Structure 1
Amino acid sequence: MTSPPPPGIAARHAPLLPPTSTSRPSQECAPNAATSNLRLARAGLGHPPPVISTRMRTGCRESRTIMKLGKSRYKEIVRFIATLKPTRQCMKRLMERFPCQSPSTLLSIFSQEYQKLMKKTHSRHHTTEAVEHYYSRYLKDVTENPSAPILLDLANEVDFSPALMARIILERFLQDQDGPAPSKPVLNSMLRDPSLIPDPVLANQVHQCIVNDCCNGPWVDSIKHSVGYEHEVLLREKLIERGLAFLDEDQLRNKGYDKTPDVILEVPIAVDGHVIHWIESKASFGDENSHSTYLQEQFWSYWNRLTADCTILYIALRFGPGLVIYWHGFIEELDCNRERGILLKDEFPDNIVTLLDCTAQESGHGFHAEGKTEKSQETM
């Protein structure tokens, strides 16, 4: 969940980012799109897309790129990611290796696996010995060739995040300048805007690390926040298109709720035969680790809450069963809590049944029954 800029109902009318990030192009339309872009490029009006974007769906039989993954397929992707370095070429290699998978799914899985690796090795890179070694190495190399991407090369050499390496070196540099360790706000502001760093050479080195890190750093954080908000707006737009009344996160908090899903439906709907009271938007891939965390920290608390009455502990209904949309896909085997009130989807469902649909259906059956009765009476 993110904190959208416009509060309350105003968020419904917030402009959407281009829908290409969430749309799933079919194999049939890809050549036409590529041809159109190529014509624009030849006319000087645009640039052709990368070859991989057209070629990635070649040989796929699916009408859209795959978002949901079986556990075995997911593990295959993870094993291949373990062989990659976090460079600009890694996504191209991933899409070439798995041409039928959605690029957004592959990028999300890659980012998750990279974050897991950084958590495992974080302490090793932050020991006093490691920090002093990295800093002395930087001072030596920058004296010899200040224009070379020293910090970026060092991060790649030790298999560490460039943005996190830049943070280590910058913090150590500021200690040399001022003595005590810099405050976190000061450090973060310099990482967001390297021009604030008093040493122009180090500022350039930090900038190179931030720009070339695809999974960490202030720029990546801003992109993730924007993408998360974009999909929350997309969810609200879909609900408005279907004419479904709902309360958003800000409206719920104004009512005094602490933990809330992105939207609560004022009138429940049915999806795949299950009643839905709330919907949560996740602009990520649902793997086992993240989904387990979300279940414990968010989803189960949406469904119910623990309440104590003297010595008796019981479960009280909170919002009821709901739907989680992992816009970048999820492991299919994780969708195993439907009977307990948690459904998973990788897009906004198109098989929604509303109370109005049920009423119309019942009315239709009633009219049909009356008609049959009248006809039988006439026959008699």
Structure 2
Amino acid sequence: MARVLSKSTYSSLLDTVHKLPYRNRVQTLRKLFPHVSVDTIKCVVAQECQRRMKCSHGRLTSSETIEVMYNRYTNSILMGEEPGILLRLSDEVGLTPALLARSIVERHYQRQDKSKPAKLLVSTLMKNTALIDDRDLAFESYLCLLEDDEYGPIAEATKQSLGYEYEVRLRMELEKSQITFLHEDHLRAKGYDKTPDIKLEIPVAIDGQVINWIESKALFGDDEVHRGYLKDQLYSYWNRFGPGLVIYWFGFVEDLEKIHQNRIILIREKLPTNMVLMEQNPPVFIPTEAYPIDGS
């Protein structure tokens, strides 16, 4: 199954994602793109959903819009509709289930002067919906959290666990290859502020290119994602440690390395098996030019 996608395949995948409803998109995409890894499809869908929510969240959660949806919800409860009211409303309006549930809970706890409840209260209720004082709303919110793969405490815990899982996998594979390294916790203990996941104590060569550090990303690397990481993290690693490697475990768009121009940062979807251990006491990397961290 492919994880490295051509630009045309990735563009076609995104176009299809935009035409499908929020839930159950992965099953449809698996049939339409049988050659693409299901993990890659899931990741592309998740990232595109997050981008869409950033653009439309403000509009979909305005006071007027939430008031209309809250009234529809309460009317549906009074009419005795079957559970899943908020899920069906989520499909209709285009707001993810967890974000919709949070907005409805905020409206439910709205003060008499129409001011919103404290964010800490709402966050606590979303983490434990059993604390919501309305039985129907508690159950409806719980269903929303279960169905949302991108937002809410369940989704966030899953993402954090997945990221750590792949960091541990990377460490285990390096140890199996008998490559010595320092991980992020070691580097922070030494006083580094921005640190890659792995700093190799002895550099290795991959496809003829020496690398000094490795960054693990349990997601799909497209142009927008990668440029963001370059600005926030990767260029600072390059300035400090020299050339490195980024692993996008769920794949990436081909030719992504061309963004770096003459700054060498390799991109792979797994740890290469053709690593060549360099001799000890290698030459110290000194950048030939000074680059600002933001890559400009």
TM-score (norm 1): 0.71
Partner secondary structure for residue 45 of structure 2: helix
Matched ranges for 1:193-342 at <5 A: 193-304=128-239, 318-336=240-258, 337=260, 339-342=262-265
Shift of 1:178: 9.8
Partner secondary structure for residue 22 of structure 2: coil
Matched ranges for 1:1-380 at <5 A: 65-88=1-24, 90-145=25-80, 147-176=82-111, 180-304=115-239, 318-336=240-258, 337=260, 339-355=262-278
Alignment partners' CA distance in 1, 2:81 and 2:130: 17
Alignment partners' CA distance in 1, 2:50 and 2:162: 18
Alignment partners' CA distance in 2, 1:274 and 1:150: 56
Amino acid at match of 1:206: S
Is the contact between residue 106 and residue 122 of structure 2 (CA under 8 Å) also seen in structure 1? yes
Partner secondary structure for residue 252 of structure 2: coil
Is the contact between residue 43 and residue 220 of structure 2 (CA under 8 Å) also seen in structure 1? yes
Partner secondary structure for residue 85 of structure 1: coil
Amino acid at match of 1:95: R
Alignment partners' CA distance in 1, 2:210 and 2:45: 34
Is the contact between residue 280 and residue 323 of structure 1 (CA under 8 Å) also seen in structure 2? yes
Shift of 1:260: 0.5
Alignment partners' CA distance in 2, 1:86 and 1:218: 19
Amino acid at match of 2:34: P
Structure 1 residues without counterparts, runs of 5 or longer: 1-64, 305-317, 360-380
Alignment partners' CA distance in 2, 1:196 and 1:206: 11
Shift of 1:185: 2.5
Q: Which has the larger displacement, 232-241 or 211-220?
A: 211-220
Residues 309-358 of structure 1 deviation map (CA, whole Å, 9 limit, x = unaligned): xxxxxxxxx1111000000000012122374121100011011010259x
Is the contact between residue 86 and residue 213 of structure 1 (CA under 8 Å) also seen in structure 2? no
Shift of 1:179: 6.7
Is the contact between residue 211 and residue 243 of structure 2 (CA under 8 Å) also seen in structure 1? yes
Partner secondary structure for residue 19 of structure 2: coil
Shift of 1:176: 4.4
Alignment partners' CA distance in 1, 2:223 and 2:35: 22
Residues 116-158 of structure 1 deviation map (CA, whole Å, 9 limit, x = unaligned): 1111111111212112111122121111126432111111111
Shift of 1:208: 1.1
Shift of 1:112: 0.8
Is the contact between residue 269 and residue 276 of structure 1 (CA under 8 Å) also seen in structure 2? yes
Partner secondary structure for residue 117 of structure 2: coil
Residues 357-378 of structure 1 deviation map (CA, whole Å, 9 limit, x = unaligned): 9x9xxxxxxxxxxxxxxxxxxx
Q: Which has the larger displacement, 193-202 or 211-220?
A: 211-220
Partner secondary structure for residue 247 of structure 1: strand
Alignment partners' CA distance in 1, 2:122 and 2:184: 32
Alignment partners' CA distance in 1, 2:227 and 2:208: 24
Over aligned residue pairs, what C-alpha RMSD do you find? 1.8
Amino acid at match of 2:277: T
Is the contact between residue 71 and residue 332 of structure 1 (CA under 8 Å) also seen in structure 2? yes
Amino acid at match of 1:226: S
Alignment partners' CA distance in 2, 1:270 and 1:186: 52
Alignment partners' CA distance in 2, 1:175 and 1:79: 39
Is the contact between residue 23 and residue 91 of structure 2 (CA under 8 Å) also seen in structure 1? no
- Structure number, greater radius of gyration: 1
Partner secondary structure for residue 323 of structure 1: strand
Alignment partners' CA distance in 2, 1:77 and 1:269: 35
Partner secondary structure for residue 66 of structure 1: coil
**Structure 1: 4+ residue segments shifted above 3 A:** 176-180
Q: Which has the larger displacement, 216-225 or 182-191?
A: 182-191
Shift of 1:189: 1.9
Shift of 1:284: 0.2
Alignment partners' CA distance in 1, 2:164 and 2:31: 30
Partner secondary structure for residue 110 of structure 2: helix
